[in-house]
């Protein structure tokens, strides 16, 4: 068996290194793959496996010195592309977390916190419930497979060792940041309106009966109405998540120049 030469090893490593960086960057920020409960080794192995599957379909990149300035720039560019792709999709689930926080504050459950296994930070229990529910919907509708397909198509839209990320393309990511608040309002607006009516009704009652204990009366009513609204909200999460994810995938392809 003939051992490969140093030049051949350099070419093979350069061929797989840049695609691996784009895929690995996407794994750092994409939903489901970036969860804190996913071990880093498993994430790296998954990125290696996806790279090995996609690599035969890619055109060979230009030969370069792996320790030169050009290689460092290309590596940083590929890593940034992957991070931006995953971040655009992750914003959809950040909107769900924000919607849960808005509803929880109106219900009086803002103090009920728990550790989010997705991020490792504390969020309201209601946010965690909505996040788990939407993540299960995401997996059931093969959203993770669609994301991997988007990663594979990204090499067609934006070839390896192509142009650097421009400010116009980064502006697509910045504009998607506004979708956190837009998506959160779309999810939470029924509960916000219902809880606002409850607060107004309790305020009117307090004016009519000043001696009434508002905390003993208003808090259970707000919590009960909040749970009823959340129960009616869950069936509508599927079309809402489908629409929002569709917009996110379109924005990701727009970022890639499709």
Q: Where are the domains of the chain?
A: 6-255
Give the pLDDT of residue 1.
46
Instruction: Say which residues have a Cβ less than 8 Å from residue 10's Cβ, sequence separation at least 6.
Output: 63, 66
Tell me the C-alpha distance between 26 and 16, whole Å.
Answer: 16
Asked if pLDDT for residue 184 goes beyond 50, the answer is yes
- Residue range 110-130: average pLDDT? 70
Contact present, 137 and 239 (Cβ < 8 Å): no
Angle at 160 between CA 157 and CA 163, to 5 degrees: 75
Tell me the C-alpha distance between 53 and 47, whole Å.
Answer: 10
Give the pLDDT of residue 85.
92
Asked if pLDDT for residue 124 goes beyond 80, the answer is no
pLDDT tens figures, 138-173:
999 988 899 999 998 988 888 887 777 888 888 888
The reported pTM is 0.83
pLDDT tens figures, 57-110:
877 766 666 666 777 888 888 899 999 999 999 999 988 888 888 888 878 776
Give the pLDDT of residue 125.
80
Return the structure tokens found at 15: 């061929």
The residue ranges of DSSP E strands in 70-168, in sequence order, are: 113-115, 122-124
Tell me the C-alpha distance between 70 and 67, whole Å.
Answer: 8
With bands split at pLDDT 50, 70 and 90, how would you rate the model's confidence at 249?
very high
């Amino acid at each position: 068996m003939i051992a490969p030469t140093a030049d051949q090893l350099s070419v093979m490593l350069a061929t797989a290194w840049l695609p691996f960086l784009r895929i690995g960057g996407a794994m750092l920020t994409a939903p489901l793959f970036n969860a804190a409960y996913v071990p880093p080794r498993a994430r790296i192995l998954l990125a290696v496996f996806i790279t090995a599957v996609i690599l035969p379909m890619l055109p060979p990149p230009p030969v370069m010195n792996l320790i030169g300035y050009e290689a460092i720039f290309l590596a940083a560019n590929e890593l940034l592309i992957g991070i931006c792709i995953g971040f655009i999709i992750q914003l959809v689930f950040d909107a769900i977390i924000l919607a849960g926080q808005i509803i929880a504050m109106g219900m009086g459950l803002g103090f009920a916190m728990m550790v989010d296994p997705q991020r490792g930070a504390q969020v309201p229990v209601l946010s965690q419930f909505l996040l788990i529910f939407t993540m299960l919907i995401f997996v059931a509708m093969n959203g993770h497979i669609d994301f991997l397909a988007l990663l594979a198509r990204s090499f067609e839209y934006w070839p390896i060792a192509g142009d650097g990320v421009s400010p116009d393309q980064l502006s697509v990511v910045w504009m998607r940041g506004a979708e956190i608040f837009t998506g959160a309002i779309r999810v939470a607006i029924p509960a916000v309106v219902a809880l606002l009516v409850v607060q107004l009704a309790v305020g009117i009652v307090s004016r009519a009966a000043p001696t009434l204990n508002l905390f003993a009366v208003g808090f259970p009513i707000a919590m009960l109405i909040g749970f009823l609204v959340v129960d009616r909200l869950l069936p509508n999460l599927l079309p809402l998540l489908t629409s929002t994810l569709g917009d996110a995938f379109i924005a990701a392809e727009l970022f890639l120049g499709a």
